Amino acid sequence: MRKTIIVLLLLTSRAWAQQPDLSQYVNPLIGTQKMGHTYPGATVPFGSVQLSPDTDTIAMFTNGKYNPDMYKYCAGYNYDDKTIVGFSHTHFSGTGHSDLGDFLIMPTTGALQLNPGTKDHPENGFRSVFSHSTEVAKPDYYKVRLEDDNILAELTTTTRVGFHKYTFPKSDSAHIILDLMHGIYNYDDKNTWTFLRIENDTLVTGYRQTAGWARTRTVYFALSFSKPFTSYGNKNFKNPQYSGFWRRFNQSRNFPEIAGEQIRAYFDFKTNEGEAIMLKFALSPVSTANALENLRTETPGWNFEEVYQKGKAQWNSELSKIAITTKDPNEKINFYTAMYHAFISPTVYMDVNGSYKGLDQNVHQADGFTNYTTFSLWDTYRALHPLFTIVQPKRNNDMIRSMLAHYDQSAEGMLPIWSHYANENWCMSGYHSVAVIADAIIKGDTGINARKALDACVQTAHKGFYDGLDYYMKLGYVPEDKKGGTSVSTTLEFAFDDWCIAQLAKKLGDEKVYEEFNKRSQNWRNVYDNSIGFMRPRLSDGSFRKNFDVLSTNNQGFIEGNAWNFSLFVPQDPKGLIQSMGGNRRFVPHLDSLFTMHLPDHFFEETEDITREGIIGGYVHGNEPSHHVAYLYNYTDQPWKTQERIRMILKKQYGATPDGLGGNDDCGQMSAWYIFSSIGFYPVTPGSGEYQLGSPAVDKAVIQLENGKSFTIEARNQSDKNVYVQKVVLNGVELNRLYITQQDILKGGTLQFFMGSKPNKKRLPNS
Amino acid sequence: MRKTIIVLLLLTSRAWAQQPDLSQYVNPLIGTQKMGHTYPGATVPFGSVQLSPDTDTIAMFTNGKYNPDMYKYCAGYNYDDKTIVGFSHTHFSGTGHSDLGDFLIMPTTGALQLNPGTKDHPENGFRSVFSHSTEVAKPDYYKVRLEDDNILAELTTTTRVGFHKYTFPKSDSAHIILDLMHGIYNYDDKNTWTFLRIENDTLVTGYRQTAGWARTRTVYFALSFSKPFTSYGNKNFKNPQYSGFWRRFNQSRNFPEIAGEQIRAYFDFKTNEGEAIMLKFALSPVSTANALENLRTETPGWNFEEVYQKGKAQWNSELSKIAITTKDPNEKINFYTAMYHAFISPTVYMDVNGSYKGLDQNVHQADGFTNYTTFSLWDTYRALHPLFTIVQPKRNNDMIRSMLAHYDQSAEGMLPIWSHYANENWCMSGYHSVAVIADAIIKGDTGINARKALDACVQTAHKGFYDGLDYYMKLGYVPEDKKGGTSVSTTLEFAFDDWCIAQLAKKLGDEKVYEEFNKRSQNWRNVYDNSIGFMRPRLSDGSFRKNFDVLSTNNQGFIEGNAWNFSLFVPQDPKGLIQSMGGNRRFVPHLDSLFTMHLPDHFFEETEDITREGIIGGYVHGNEPSHHVAYLYNYTDQPWKTQERIRMILKKQYGATPDGLGGNDDCGQMSAWYIFSSIGFYPVTPGSGEYQLGSPAVDKAVIQLENGKSFTIEARNQSDKNVYVQKVVLNGVELNRLYITQQDILKGGTLQFFMGSKPNKKRLPNS
């Protein structure tokens, strides 16, 4: 026995020591410029805390008018900026709408300034000039010199705790500012309440309640300082008309219990030259007591380096789930940064003791699973969750359990749409939880009560009040005159989700549900206008809308897309779509045109979320609806065009620079597309268990599966020129199909691509 | 065994049946007119729910200007009003500042109106005209006809549930309005957030978070209807600038999850003639889940009458703790209404499962005690808590445990000042928790950790930041130039509280603490100006303030009082005070003047809380600082003047009519004065264990003690003329002192007063 244990220990420590440092290839700055909307700060995989610098505080509204510049600050940080306002604890990664930015911390010296100043005049406030030359961003580590006061800032995290280290110059008047007013997508009324308690001279607790994108959200915290502060205070920037608080003592200096809507607090220190003051800042969705428990459990000591090394090890463990071999150094950076961005969201949403605040605002206990939040499902059902079924199945199952808990707590009796921190944000369209659930259950053993999951899907798909679903159920499509704006894309998305429900019902042998939803999955046909060969807005009287522009994204019936892109969204039946659109003879040139056409200027003016760089011809990679489109050639008689397009998109749309993402990363969906496509396949149809083969951009990729097996992809002879697949061999047998299945992967084995510089026109899809 | 059980059951039911219906003498309308600030609605003893009609919705501020008319609506109801806005679930009883009014319910028929209308034009809103002729107010029962729509409203409660019964006419369009905007002492920013969930067609949950007198307060609810509503909706009167909520469906009709700052909801019904719709509305300080548990535990069925009978029985059980005999029918009404008002506050503050939200905003469990809130301690330490030590010792001990829990949770490390629903309101002056605690522990076995209690008292009395305490500790008084406004009264109150701490320390044998606080208890001498014979504001240089008006209450150094009244506030040492003021020879005429003097008009204009009726000469009974004053003759050579003054005050200051209270009832303090004084004694010095004898106004009073014994007071030959005590006999032995002790009472026995129409001038105080 003893011997075995020693051997195991040796193996474990050896495995640890031998784990390659893949984190070195990750550059968190990728996507922080232009449209990526990622943040450069510190976080652990799927961490609750995302501790990152915020570079501006643009109000969402100025004098009641929407400020479109806000959009650059979805993740708080814009690479073009020259100043840092401070370091806040929560950030979305890559979203196209935003919230968060809770609890900004900023160290300063000298005269106390309690306003942030402006980007043009940082000297008028507590913000500081910084330079990218002093900036280091690595997984779970961020460092920068705050030049105004010559303070070195370093950040790392655990799942629930932000760990700050500020190295000061000598100062009789050093301050740590805690700004409860700061927020992302901030506006006057966003804070509904904030609360602050000075428990003792090193411990502060409190919370912030906001009505932002998440309508009713409270985050609790516990903040511990490595050194006692000598004094403290606060300023309440919005005195209530009447507080009932008899002002017979000074509440703004050394008074330990503060509450109000708009508060900034500060803590004073004396520092020696080079003295570091550290902060541990724990979050909880439940209470300050839980925040304190999180703090004490996850960060018992004050060793910054140890916390960082643990975070780095967590990242290396996750990143090593796919080990790639490539001759291109940028490929490693792009690939592992994509892996990094794919493993940030959804985020853990429960305390170390398992409790979390549910959608019903009650405290719930996550019984036997880890509860997650931040479900950007309109994006992530496409490739991120399918990727998780391969490399994160345990987490993916817990995410589904979290969705089912949401369903149980939902007043509407629905699965999440875009859910976040005990709130349903009702953002985007469709009910894509069902795609994630069906995909996972169809692919294998999830341990989830599948019957309950199917019921939840069916209930969700029957809620007539939701986004025209009543009309859809009655007419077979969402009529533009009744539910205008995005009636076509909504119809297409409902139809795909319905197909997923049908597949799940089929697996469970529920014929009645299967038939109902299989029928509904055909509804895409009802918005296809054969006379023009595009999907088109249809009115409740059955006619198609007269005025219609197939190029425009402005009020033409589609969300984040035009008819050219979105008409191709029938992932449940690409062959049926091709047939409707005139068969290969007409469809292939049509698809070719998409990638080569010239878009008019108005397209860019009216289209959110993407830059000109995010577009190839008329193909929009910067938004998600086209993510499967390049793979559609696989269903035609010219599948090699998928191979060349994929390689082109990988090259053009992803770069190892801050502006390297042509569109929002969208909680990892853009990155998941990259990961799949660069290793040679993609889940065109979640819920099918199949992955369409493309053209691998790496020489080799080894996927470590949770079942202990591994699946290896080899791309023999691949290069920038050799992008065409000559043949594919699975476990020594040549593959006579253009896809592999989840079972092929889970069994383990080797998939060999033999590459060449010219298409092998004999490789065709089966019937 | 079986036999015993049957006997017990018989005894119980017999006791029940035999209990006299004392509730019939209670008139909850007393004090609802002029300055009493009581409410007429339904509540059980110390209930968490106070379900009562609100007659107007005067905003605290109109265009930013304070509206003094608000003051009439401290309890939501003004007897002079002709309309009722609706029935809300929380009310203070008798306070001079206010808050609450949570969750207004109003039944209507016809066209839906979602604004309350005005008192002049009730037809423009949902409020209704009513008449006192249809109004019935009894303990735990209220009934009124809402004339606008001919709806009969009836209310009763359990500790945590308001039970409504509305009898409708026939209507195709009956509504129950749930107004989350309504509040007492309301203003635009008072609601910080409200939240509403329609769980199903008979169940609604939600909460309301306010920043009123209590700065950070959330009340959760669960509302159950006896009949399913056919539809529902809401109006959000303050749309946030940006909610993040994609409006692709109608949130105002039949949408089950609503949140915002200013919301009114409604529920639609069809009713037959005479059909009753009932509502159970449960509150919780913790969560909607707990509110639902409270609802299901306390009101499992739909029997309105049964709930009322239980509440009535609870009241009779409490009222019967003092059984009086009197020839005056009004005396019974005044006495039992005083008992009723004395047993409303403090209020139970925890769920049926024992959990409550603490001062630190975390959820705590009341372990082995009932947690209370609503501590109006500046008022109630005087007579209400001393009364509780006799007739509610168990509850009083739990109230002290609640204060100690507050201390444990306090960021400042202090016992409550004026605390309420997880908030310290910092209202009024002194730290009178210590008087309540010392009084109880000195009087007997409380089961409380006395050492911990003393520590809490000492800690509280050492908080320099609080209300000039730093100066007080340094100079021996609060200097008017440093802490202006109420420096004299604050000094006097600190000194008394310090004496209480000294007595507790003495009992526990802590000589060090005793000496410190016994010395501090002498500090009243530092603000006594011998040159004028009054207490007087003193400056930090030791001099007395030059400009000084002994009659004025406006900024003369006293809170709710002038120098004439407040200079007599040395309850810990009346003899010392009398000596300072020149001995009996000068003190008695001085006291006589107080009761006979003529006050200038400006006194009434500048003095809050009292009417001209609340004053006798210059003696102010409507505010608390003089409550002991009439008993001060007991310490002179003319104690019979106490006897005549007490009888006069009882007659003049208390009447069996809505305007029967000359000042705020102040959570039962005014009523407790009445109860004590009408049975013949009063606790001039809480912490002494002694009660000064006055002149009983009842013929007989039997006090039922929790130890199973009883203490009987007999007033032989008493009448309106025979107000003078000739002799007093305790358990058959003539009493040679002018007071009795707590031990005299707790031992049980009989105290006989022999009354006559002329003073017995031989009865003098000892030494």
Do A470 and A436 have their domain in common? no
Candidate from B249, B288, B424 with C-beta closest to A360: B288
Candidate from B197, B198, B465 with C-beta closest to A249: B465
State how far the Cα of B668 lies from the Cα of B391, in Å rounded to an integer: 14
Contact A205 B360 (CB under 8 A): yes
Chain A interface test: which of B209, B284, B362, B480 (most A C-beta within 10 Å) = B362
pTM of the model: 0.95
For B126, phi then psi, to 5°, come to -85, -10
Candidate from A242, A246, A427 with C-beta closest to B187: A242
| Residue in chain A nearest B210 by alpha carbon | A193
Contact A465 B197 (CB under 8 A): no
Do A282 and A373 have their domain in common? no
Do A465 and A442 have their domain in common? no
DSSP B301: S
Query: Are residues B420 and B551 in contact, defined by beta-carbon separation less than 8 angstroms?
Result: no
Do A121 and A206 have their domain in common? yes
State how far the Cα of A764 lies from the Cα of A478, in Å rounded to an integer: 36
Q: Is the pLDDT of residue A213 over 50?
A: yes
Does residue B665 fall inside a structural domain?
no
What are A257-282's pLDDT values in tens digits? 999 999 999 999 999 999 999 999 99
What the block records as the tokens of A748 is 């383990």
Pairing status of strand B347-348 against strand B257-260: unpaired
Per-residue model confidence (pLDDT) at position B488 = 97
What the block records as the tokens of B106 is 């109003």
Chain-centroid distance of CA A305 in Å reads: 28
- pLDDT-derived band of residue A250, with 50, 70 and 90 as boundaries? confident
Candidate from B193, B198, B465 with C-beta closest to A411: B198
Do A402 and A486 have their domain in common? no
Per-residue model confidence (pLDDT) at position B18 = 61
Candidate from B193, B211, B242 with C-beta closest to A240: B211
Do A429 and A466 have their domain in common? no
User: Measured between beta carbons, which residues in chain B are less than 8 angstroms from residue A491?
Assistant: none
Contact B248 A483 (CB under 8 A): yes
Candidate from B209, B249, B261 with C-beta closest to A466: B249
State how far the Cα of A347 lies from the Cα of A336, in Å rounded to an integer: 19
Does residue A163 fall inside a structural domain?
yes
Do A480 and A514 have their domain in common? yes
Q: Which of A4-13, A503-512, B413-422 bottoms out in mean pLDDT, i.e. has the lowest?
A: A4-13
Do A448 and A470 have their domain in common? no
Does residue B100 fall inside a structural domain?
yes
What the block records as the tokens of B71 is 């003051």
Measuring CA to CA, which residue among A706, A722, A719, A721 is closest to residue A756? A722
Does residue A333 fall inside a structural domain?
no
- Find the helix or strand (DSSP H, E) in which B486 lies: none
Q: Is the pLDDT of residue B178 over 80?
A: yes
| Residue in chain A nearest B490 by alpha carbon | A248
Query: What are the strands, taking DSSP E only, across A151-262?
Result: 151-157, 161-167, 171-179, 191-200, 203-210, 217-225, 231-236, 257-260
Q: Is the pLDDT of residue B16 over 60?
A: no
User: Measured between beta carbons, which residues in chain B are less than 8 angstroms from residue A358?
Assistant: none
- pLDDT-derived band of residue A606, with 50, 70 and 90 as boundaries? confident
Does residue B279 fall inside a structural domain?
yes
Q: Is the pLDDT of residue B730 over 80?
A: yes
User: Measured between beta carbons, which residues in chain B are less than 8 angstroms from residue A205?
Assistant: 360
User: Measured between beta carbons, which residues in chain A are less than 8 angstroms from residue B243?
Assistant: 211, 215
Per-residue model confidence (pLDDT) at position A240 = 57
Contact A289 B242 (CB under 8 A): no
- Higher pLDDT among residues B11 and A331, named by residue: A331
State how far the Cα of A155 lies from the Cα of A311, in Å rounded to an integer: 11
If one counts the domains in chain A, the total is: 3
State how far the Cα of A83 lies from the Cα of A77, in Å rounded to an integer: 10
What the block records as the tokens of B449 is 């950790």
Identify the three-state secondary structure at position B564.
helix
Contact B411 A199 (CB under 8 A): yes
State how far the Cα of A108 lies from the Cα of A153, in Å rounded to an integer: 11
State the average pLDDT for chain A. 94
User: Measured between beta carbons, which residues in chain B are less than 8 angstroms from residue A185?
Assistant: 242
Task: Spell out the residues 6+ positions from residue A200 whose beta carbon is closer than 8 angstroms to its own.
Answer: none
Query: What CATH number corresponds to the domain at position A79?
Result: 2.70.98.10
> Smallest CA–CA separation between B642 and chain A, in Å?
36
Residue with tokens 């280091």: A136
What the block records as the tokens of B321 is 């703790």
Chain-centroid distance of CA B522 in Å reads: 30
Candidate from B189, B249, B287 with C-beta closest to A363: B287
Contact B61 A427 (CB under 8 A): no
- DSSP class per residue in B382-401: TTHHHHHHHH-HHHHHHHHH
Candidate from B193, B248, B257 with C-beta closest to A411: B257
Residue A219 exposed, middle or buried by CB count within 10 Å (0-12, 13-18, 19+): buried
Contact B245 A215 (CB under 8 A): yes
What are A33-80's pLDDT values in tens digits? 999 999 999 999 999 999 999 999 888 887 778 888 899 999 999 999
Task: Tell me what the mean pLDDT of segment B472-501 comes to.
Answer: 96
Contact A64 B241 (CB under 8 A): yes
Measuring CA to CA, which residue among A567, A565, A561 is closest to residue A582? A567
Domain boundary among A533, A567, A586: A533
Task: Tell me what the mean pLDDT of segment B447-455 comes to.
Answer: 97
Chain A interface test: which of B193, B287, B470, B478 (most A C-beta within 10 Å) = B193
Per-residue model confidence (pLDDT) at position B485 = 85
Q: Which residues pair with B616 in a beta bridge?
A: B619
What are B538-548's pLDDT values in tens digits? 999 999 999 99
Contact A240 B189 (CB under 8 A): yes
Q: Which of A478-492, A507-521, B271-285, B291-305 bottoms out in mean pLDDT, i.e. has the lowest?
A: A478-492
| Residue in chain B nearest A200 by alpha carbon | B411
Task: Spell out the residues 6+ positions from residue B609 whose beta carbon is closer than 8 angstroms to its own.
Answer: B35, B96, B560, B622, B623, B663, B664
Contact B195 A216 (CB under 8 A): yes
| Residue in chain A nearest B188 by alpha carbon | A241
Contact B465 A254 (CB under 8 A): yes
Per-residue model confidence (pLDDT) at position B445 = 86
Per-residue model confidence (pLDDT) at position A7 = 39
What the block records as the tokens of A519 is 């029928």
Contact A242 B212 (CB under 8 A): yes
State how far the Cα of A8 lies from the Cα of A499, in Å rounded to an integer: 47
Chain-centroid distance of CA A90 in Å reads: 13
> Smallest CA–CA separation between B372 and chain A, in Å?
21
Does residue B723 fall inside a structural domain?
no
Identify the three-state secondary structure at position B330.
helix
Query: What CATH number corresponds to the domain at position A394?
Result: 1.20.1050.60
Per-residue model confidence (pLDDT) at position B187 = 85
Q: Is the pLDDT of residue A493 over 50?
A: yes
B108 lies in which domain range? 31-298
Domain boundary among A473, A500, A533: A533
What are A627-640's pLDDT values in tens digits? 999 999 999 999 99
Q: Write the single-letter amino acid at B711.
A: F
State how far the Cα of A139 lies from the Cα of A309, in Å rounded to an integer: 10
Q: Is the pLDDT of residue A10 over 50?
A: no
Per-residue model confidence (pLDDT) at position A92 = 98
Alpha helices in B43-196 (DSSP H): none
- pLDDT-derived band of residue A16, with 50, 70 and 90 as boundaries? very low
Identify the three-state secondary structure at position A10.
helix
Write down the ipTM of this complex. 0.94
Q: Which residues pair with A163 in a beta bridge?
A: A156, A280
Chain B interface test: which of A193, A213, A355 (most B C-beta within 10 Å) = A193
Per-residue model confidence (pLDDT) at position A346 = 98
What the block records as the tokens of A535 is 């999907």
Contact A192 B189 (CB under 8 A): no
Contact B241 A189 (CB under 8 A): yes
> Smallest CA–CA separation between A656 and chain B, in Å?
33
User: Measured between beta carbons, which residues in chain A are less than 8 angstroms from residue B216?
Assistant: 193, 195, 259
Per-residue model confidence (pLDDT) at position A13 = 42
What the block records as the tokens of A650 is 């990988």
Residue with tokens 């910092």: B426
> Smallest CA–CA separation between A261 and chain B, in Å?
9
Q: Write the single-letter amino acid at B477.
A: Y
Does residue A599 fall inside a structural domain?
no
What are A356-365's pLDDT values in tens digits? 999 999 999 9
Measuring CA to CA, which residue among B32, B723, B715, B754 is closest to residue B326? B715
State how far the Cα of A610 lies from the Cα of B123, in Å rounded to an integer: 56
Do A469 and A444 have their domain in common? no
| Residue in chain A nearest B60 by alpha carbon | A242
Please give the share of chain B, as a percent, with pLDDT higher than 70. Answer: 96
Query: Are residues A370 and A395 in contact, defined by beta-carbon separation less than 8 angstroms?
Result: yes
For A672, phi then psi, to 5°, come to -65, -40
What are B287-324's pLDDT values in tens digits? 999 999 999 999 999 999 999 999 999 999 999 999 99
Chain B interface test: which of A208, A219, A360, A409 (most B C-beta within 10 Å) = A360
What the block records as the tokens of A689 is 């268990």
> Smallest CA–CA separation between B241 and chain A, in Å?
7
Candidate from A198, A243, A250 with C-beta closest to B211: A243
Domain boundary among A400, A430, A454: A454
For B317, phi then psi, to 5°, come to -65, -40
Q: Degrees (nearest 5) of the Cα angle B499, B501, B505?
A: 115
State how far the Cα of B565 lies from the Cα of A521, in Å rounded to an integer: 85
Does residue B447 fall inside a structural domain?
no
Chain B interface test: which of A248, A414, A491, A560 (most B C-beta within 10 Å) = A248
What are B346-390's pLDDT values in tens digits? 999 999 999 999 999 999 999 999 999 999 999 999 999 999 999
What the block records as the tokens of B615 is 């004053």
Do A117 and A198 have their domain in common? yes
Query: What CATH number corresponds to the domain at position A529?
Result: 1.20.1610.10
- pLDDT-derived band of residue B608, with 50, 70 and 90 as boundaries? low
